[in-house]
Amino acid sequence: VKYDPNRKHLWNPCMHLCNYSINKHHSDYIKSEDPEAEDVGHKWTLSALLRHLKSLNLDTALLMQRIEEVVIKSLLATAPSIIAACKLFVPSIVNCFELYGFDILIDSELKPWLLEVNLSPSLGCDSPLDTRLKSALLVDLLTLVGLPAVDPVVRPQIRPHRPATAD
């Protein structure tokens, strides 16, 4: 839906910057059923967006540098609060982690604007592309925190180590 700042459209949630959970219900929303199609419909991967911008001769390296700066500055700005909360609510700071979701708007000058940061962003999968991307994200996340994921095809072959018992 094209944005229209007219007051009569103030309460139309599909008119404003909104999250996917609202926009997916709009009649103009185009959903892709192909997990390999990264640039079909209204949900694209970051890689597909960068390829598209590069095809328009836009400086994607500069864009990514700017996005990284926004993310780093956001985390640095909130670090004292995060550390204080962890000290209060987490028994051992060495065994906790958090996944953050950064919603960033990119303007016509390739300037990123931070809209919001989500704690524990949705990992729900409404499309095959979601399943592919979020599965890979979870594998990487668990590996990063020291819990390497096991391929489901290999899993049945793995037996947990059981200590020998005395009879």
21 and 47 housed in the same domain = no
Residue 159 lies inside a defined structural domain of this protein:
no
**Per the structure, how many domains does the chain have?**
2
* Residue 10 and residue 75 share a domain: no
- Domain check: are 142 and 60 in the same one? yes
Which pLDDT score, from 0 to 100, does residue 71 have? 98
Q: What is the pTM of this model?
A: 0.72
Show the domain range for 132: 31-149
Q: Does 61 lie in the same domain as 40?
A: yes
Going by C-alpha positions, the residue among 28, 27, 34, 2 that lies closest to residue 15 is 2
Whether residue 75 is found in the same domain as residue 91 = yes
Tell me phi and psi for residue 42, to 5 degrees.
-95, -10
Low-confidence ranges of the chain (pLDDT < 70): 1-5, 10-20, 35, 93, 151-167
For residue 89, the model assigns a pLDDT of 85
Q: Give residues with Cβ within 8 angstroms of 140, minimum separation 6.
A: none
DSSP assignment letter at 8 = G
Q: Is 101 helix (H, G, I), strand (E, B) or coil?
A: strand
